[in-house]
Structure 1
Amino acid sequence: MTRRVAITGIGVVAPGGTGTKEFWSLLTAGRTATRRISFFDPSPFRSQLAAECDFDPAAHGLGLQEIRRMDRAAQFAVVCTREAVGDAGLELEELDPTRLGVTIGSAVGCTMSLEREYAVVSDEGRRWLVDHTYGVPHLYNYLVPGSLATEVAWEVGAEGPTAVVSTGCTSGLDTLGHAVQLIREGSTDVMVAGATDAPISPITVACFDAIKATTPRNDDPEHASRPFDRSRNGFVLGEGAAVFVLEELEHARRRGAPVYAEVSGFASRCNAFHMTGLRPDGREMSAAIDHALRQARVNPDDVDYVNAHGSGTKQNDRHETAAVKLSLRDHAYRTPMSSIKSMIGHSLGAIGSIEVAACALAIRDGVVPPTANLHEPDPECDLDYVPLQAREKRLDTVLSVGSGFGGFQSAMVLTRPDGGER
């Protein structure tokens, strides 16, 4: 018998507010958290806006040594972990540490600290031969992405499988898929899993400027992220994290843990086509959706809501619209589909986990978050994208999809728990 996997705890750090409550309040109100970049002077760049987190690590319980040691992305992950464990009512000392694992997704790792330290050791880039003696003792931790998972494992005392999943912008979905598989196969009973990225730095902004993937709508940052809108012209960079407590369902029931949702299906595909390009027919994403639905044992007509990747690039929006039509067929036109990136930007590897958090909360409250800034839909994007305002609707089956550079396409299905709901 296949072991079932439940979400029993959620922790979120996102633009517009730290904590799951603040995150969900922003989404359901349809507010946006995009603004001009404040971390550095963005004036030399084509795109000068982002969705930044107003995050004070000390105010959220991190000590001075932790703040010195950890990159901002690691700080996000640890703060989210503490919220998720508390939310799940998990007594860590009562768990077998060898049956507790960690998976953390990230697209760009400790980018902010690496860039900062390079500027120091190279004297702002003036020295080709850098002076390593100016580097901080924790520089190696910033280089190795595994340090993100290590910090979370130390936080919860996990001695089971621990890993980092880095598959670009699908990392946040893929890391959860990996965690679910570890529980299903019996390697663990509990996984602390999620994703984090803090990429708002000059090097990241320059990279996306070079390929013109981010929007240059600098005169109106609040309304710059416009998924599925005719006037969209690129995504808005963001940052943040979401971490979950995932449990084998019977394990959760034995301790009386309320359940947000069951992770019923997951699949990932690669188009083996182009680093950034997407075929317009959406077949690779559709293949992931189809497999995830089969694994969840639900029909296309059972899907009540699609949480879109919805980055706000013409190529992506049309690609996933086509994919959803291929998989859900006529039901696609009756299914609400929205993009929360319109409100909190695109936090690269973290966004998939943040979107799954939104899906779990949507199931709990029976609310579909809106697509902000959608005033004039692209005629080629002709589904119901829930423009501007949240919508009340009972949700039993929710589909979340992601698309990433490298050709990655992932899909996850969440279903309403059959008893023990929050």
Structure 2
Amino acid sequence: MSGRRVVITGIGVLAPGGVGVKDFWGLLSEGRTATRGITFFDPAPFRSRIAAEIDFCPEAHGLGPQEVRRMDRAAQLAVAATREALDDSGLDVASLDPHRVGVTVGSAVGATTGLDAEYRVVSDGGRLAAVDHRYAVPHLYDYLVPSSFAAEVAWAAGAEGPSAVVSTGCTSGIDSVGHAVELIREGSADVMVAGSSDAPISPITVACFDAIKATTPRNDDPEHASRPFDGTRNGFVLGEGAAIFVLEELASARRRGARIYAEIAGYASRCNAFHMTGLRPDGVELAEAIRVALDEARLDPTAVDYVNAHGSGTKQNDRHETAAFKRSLGAHAYDVPVSSIKSMVGHSLGAIGSIEIAASALAIRHDVVPPTANLRTRDPECDLDYVPLTAREHRTDTVLTVGSGFGGFQSAMVLSDPERSAA
């Protein structure tokens, strides 16, 4: 591995209740929730009828009618977040060699919204077994192939270097950024525009999670339905969103006087090779990913000042994750604050890992740990410091953020302040 250190110099976020970095951090630091009854379609037939939706107007983010027609909602979110990240970075992309600027985009379910809507059109609401392609939008192929997301982001950034889509379920948002970091470290790119986007709030996705009872049926109280680590939790709340970052080498960022949010000091991913949706209760694979990420960052577990948990709000995940923290951090697991922002913005599948990286970087910048909203009832099996209800001022030089996805994917990333941490 080269000695190149990689930092975040630009952030773009579109999340439920927080469109743009400022509003996103305001929501988290104030402990507000953005979960509500589904408005995108009639949810009456479904078991879980709530979600964390974004009030997103593509035109307000500079997307013209042709772009809106061409792109699925998730691609629109990714491009809007890309534009914010580039503006935020202050980087003059036009002055760079475009072949040294790359893109990685994570997504778990791709253009689900567009595919769902178009199937209803070409099948005449499901009436036709043999669909009529003449009624489909002309860009239906772009909905079918998730690579279109990376292409759209590359066009928005003027990037002609390495380009890829990473799809590893709910760890896609961490893994796409981790892949981008490695491309800079190995010298394949100098700048990476990286992150993830998903817009899965559609009938097909809701039906799938209903079938396995993974989402909460607490429809009468959407605001308090997402309850990670709480003894009364009964499933996660589906969400949507996008977060994109400008990543560059630390030395280069310093030379141009860039604002540095955080260094991505370590990353690792493992798979439990166990079950498509099941998790081992001992959390050994997630613990191993954490251990390797900390080793790569050359940090002891006691250096971790805050853990941004996956915290989906299912009993299986929360207990598995708690065990992993104890296994990987040892006694320090009981001293370090932990929280889940899914309590406020829901679970946007492949996008959430990048949204949580954004939250982690902002926690470092502001020395504030976001809360786990709605955490009121203690679960004896989840006995760590989960920062309930309100944000906490706390010196935060190093953050561990983790993800867990269907298929057994387990990922961990360590972010540090390069000026204050021991890295």
State the TM-score bracket (shorter-chain normalisation). over 0.9
What is the aligned partner in structure 1 of residue 51 from structure 2?
50
Contact 1:110 1:142 in 2 (8 A): yes
What letter matches 1:279 in structure 2? R
Q: How much has 1:164 moved relative to structure 2? A: 0.2
What letter matches 1:355 in structure 2? E
- Rounded Cα–Cα distance in structure 2 between residues aligned with 1:223 and 1:314: 16
Q: How much has 1:61 moved relative to structure 2? A: 1.2
- Rounded Cα–Cα distance in structure 2 between residues aligned with 1:291 and 1:257: 29
Per the alignment, in what secondary structure is the counterpart of residue 274 of structure 1? coil
Kindly provide the CA deviation profile for residues 255-298 of structure 1, in whole angstroms up to 9, marking residues without a partner as x.
11110000000000000000000000000000000000000000
What is the aligned partner in structure 2 of residue 374 from structure 1?
375
Q: How much has 1:248 moved relative to structure 2? A: 1.0
What letter matches 1:189 in structure 2? D
- Rounded Cα–Cα distance in structure 2 between residues aligned with 1:306 and 1:194: 20
Q: How much has 1:138 moved relative to structure 2? A: 0.4
Per the alignment, in what secondary structure is the counterpart of residue 269 of structure 1? strand
Per the alignment, in what secondary structure is the counterpart of residue 151 of structure 1? helix
Kindly provide the CA deviation profile for residues 89-144 of structure 1, in whole angstroms up to 9, marking residues without a partner as x.
01111010000000000000000000111111111111011111111110000000
- Rounded Cα–Cα distance in structure 2 between residues aligned with 1:182 and 1:253: 20
Structure 2, unmatched stretches of 5+, are: none
- Rounded Cα–Cα distance in structure 2 between residues aligned with 1:377 and 1:144: 44
- Rounded Cα–Cα distance in structure 1 between residues aligned with 2:404 and 2:118: 31
Contact 1:260 1:417 in 2 (8 A): no
Q: Identity rate of aligned residues, in percent?
A: 75
- Rounded Cα–Cα distance in structure 2 between residues aligned with 1:246 and 1:359: 15
- Rounded Cα–Cα distance in structure 2 between residues aligned with 1:413 and 1:148: 26
- Rounded Cα–Cα distance in structure 2 between residues aligned with 1:226 and 1:278: 19
Structure 1, unmatched stretches of 5+, are: none
Q: How much has 1:201 moved relative to structure 2? A: 0.2
**1:310 is aligned to 2:333:** no
**1:96 is aligned to 2:97:** yes
Kindly provide the CA deviation profile for residues 186-216 of structure 1, in whole angstroms up to 9, marking residues without a partner as x.
0000000000000000000000000000000
1:196-207 alignment runs, 5 A limit: 196-207=197-208
Per the alignment, in what secondary structure is the counterpart of residue 411 of structure 2? strand
What is the aligned partner in structure 2 of residue 148 from structure 1?
149
What is the aligned partner in structure 2 of residue 327 from structure 1?
328
What is the aligned partner in structure 1 of residue 353 from structure 2?
352
Q: How much has 1:415 moved relative to structure 2? A: 0.5
Contact 2:311 2:339 in 1 (8 A): yes
- Rounded Cα–Cα distance in structure 2 between residues aligned with 1:131 and 1:62: 29
What is the aligned partner in structure 1 of residue 249 from structure 2?
248
Per the alignment, in what secondary structure is the counterpart of residue 58 of structure 2? coil
- Rounded Cα–Cα distance in structure 1 between residues aligned with 2:19 and 2:301: 35
What letter matches 1:336 in structure 2? P
Per the alignment, in what secondary structure is the counterpart of residue 84 of structure 1? helix
**1:23 is aligned to 2:24:** yes
Q: How much has 1:60 moved relative to structure 2? A: 1.5
Kindly provide the CA deviation profile for residues 310-367 of structure 1, in whole angstroms up to 9, marking residues without a partner as x.
0000000000000000011100000000000000000000000000000000000000
Q: How much has 1:254 moved relative to structure 2? A: 1.8
Q: How much has 1:251 moved relative to structure 2? A: 1.6
- Rounded Cα–Cα distance in structure 1 between residues aligned with 2:272 and 2:18: 36
